[in-house]
């Protein structure tokens, strides 16, 4: 399982529309509006890295009103 947080910027006034479109994505577990540099943060869970890439590049970034994104992929550390 791959977990990632996607920080999203939107065009002015498009935050609500982008939020609703994000809620339709299958890999999405949470999405919240933010104050500050980014407009939304989404927590995504996918079965592997390739599926995550498809979701972010093929779906999130193609939503009308999305102007940019930053994806933070959670690390999995193996315990000794």
Q: Which domain holds residue 55?
A: 2-73
In a domain, 38, yes or no: yes
User: Measured in whole angstroms, how far is the alpha carbon of residue 31 from the centre of its chain?
Assistant: 8
In a domain, 67, yes or no: yes
Q: Report the number of distinct structural domains present in the chain.
A: 1
Query: Looking at the predicted structure, is the pLDDT value of residue 4 above 90?
Result: yes
In a domain, 62, yes or no: yes
CA-closest candidate to residue 24, choices 3, 42, 39, 8: 42
Write out pLDDT tens, residues 24-61: 998 999 999 999 999 999 999 999 999 999 999 999 99
In a domain, 78, yes or no: no
CA distances from residue 80 to 48, 61, 77 in whole angstroms, order as listed: 23, 38, 9
Average pLDDT rounded to a whole number, residues 2-19 = 97
3-state secondary structure of 22: helix
In a domain, 79, yes or no: no
In a domain, 60, yes or no: yes
In a domain, 80, yes or no: no
Beta bridge partners of 15: none
In a domain, 43, yes or no: yes
Task: Record the pTM.
Answer: 0.91
CA-closest candidate to residue 28, choices 48, 18, 42: 42
CA-closest candidate to residue 69, choices 47, 46, 49, 52: 52
Domain of 41, CATH number, reads 3.30.70.920
């Amino acid at each position: 399982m791959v977990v990632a947080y996607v920080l999203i910027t939107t065009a002015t006034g498009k935050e609500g529309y982008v939020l609703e479109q994000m809620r339709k994505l299958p890999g999405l577990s949470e999405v919240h509006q933010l104050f500050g540099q980014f407009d939304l943060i989404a927590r995504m869970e996918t079965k592997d890295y390739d599926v995550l890439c498809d979701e972010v590049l093929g779906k999130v970034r193609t939503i009308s009103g999305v102007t940019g994104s930053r994806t933070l992929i959670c690390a999995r550390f193996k315990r000794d």
